[in-house]
Amino acid sequence: MVKYGLDYTRCRWILPLLLGLAMIFGIIALAGWCWITSQTYPPTRRASLWNMCYLDDGTCMSLMNYAWGRAAAGTFLVGFVLVCICFALSIIAFAIPTLRFNFIRGIGGLCFVAAVFSLMGLVIYAVMCTKQFPAPSNMVYQFDWSYGFGWTMCIMAIGLGFFFCCLPLYEDHILGNVKPYYYPDI
């Protein structure tokens, strides 16, 4: 992996860039209005993380009136804040000329914690929203693009956690402290 493409001097900003992308996906998920829509034409219900709107009569109700709505929003928001903290810490870690590999492993652990919180929020929302507001017999709920961006942030946090935790294993290779081994010509 290190020999064929992970050169520290050229690629050290890829991981913070990916964390920034995960943070942008989290912003889109938090601000998006289409977590769930009804699969009828035209759609009759639309829900975000914050409210449920009935498009027939134009009324909206807040999901923050329910304990599960507050739990889903709170846990997803905690996961998003932890991704933002990981992004800031990764910028600091990679900006220092002498790379601190133990610090990077901590960022990876924090990415895993962020993924767990956002996963809890996504699952609570999906289960309880479809249970609390059952669809009539002629309607099916469809999880929409904003919910997908939330899952993308969660999956990216898991993947980046693995990368941040595994990067210190290649510390000597990245810093050039390993003597290269040349295979003899046969």
Q: Does 85 fall in a domain?
A: yes
Under 8 Å between Cβ of 146 and 48: yes
Q: 103-151 pLDDT, tens per residue? A: 888 899 999 999 999 999 999 998 998 888 877 777 788 888 999 999 9
Collect all residues with Cβ–Cβ distance below 8 Å to 4 and sequence separation of at least 6.
Answer: none
Q: Does 25 fall in a domain?
A: yes
CATH number for the domain that contains residue 63? 1.20.140.150
The total domain count for the chain is: 1
Q: Does 104 fall in a domain?
A: yes
- Reference 128, options 175, 183, 67, 79; nearest CA is 67
97: containing domain:
12-132+145-170
Q: Does 17 fall in a domain?
A: yes
Return the number of other C-beta atoms located less than 10 Å from residue 169's C-beta.
13
Written as one string, the DSSP assignment of 94-131 is: HHSSS--HHHHHHHHHHHHHHHHHHHHHHHHHHHHHHH
Q: Does 55 fall in a domain?
A: yes
Sign of CA dihedral 124, 85, 153, 170: negative
Q: 13-40 pLDDT, tens per residue? A: 888 899 999 999 999 999 998 888 887 7
Q: Does 123 fall in a domain?
A: yes
Looking at per-residue pLDDT, the higher value among 70 and 93 belongs to 70
Q: Does 165 fall in a domain?
A: yes
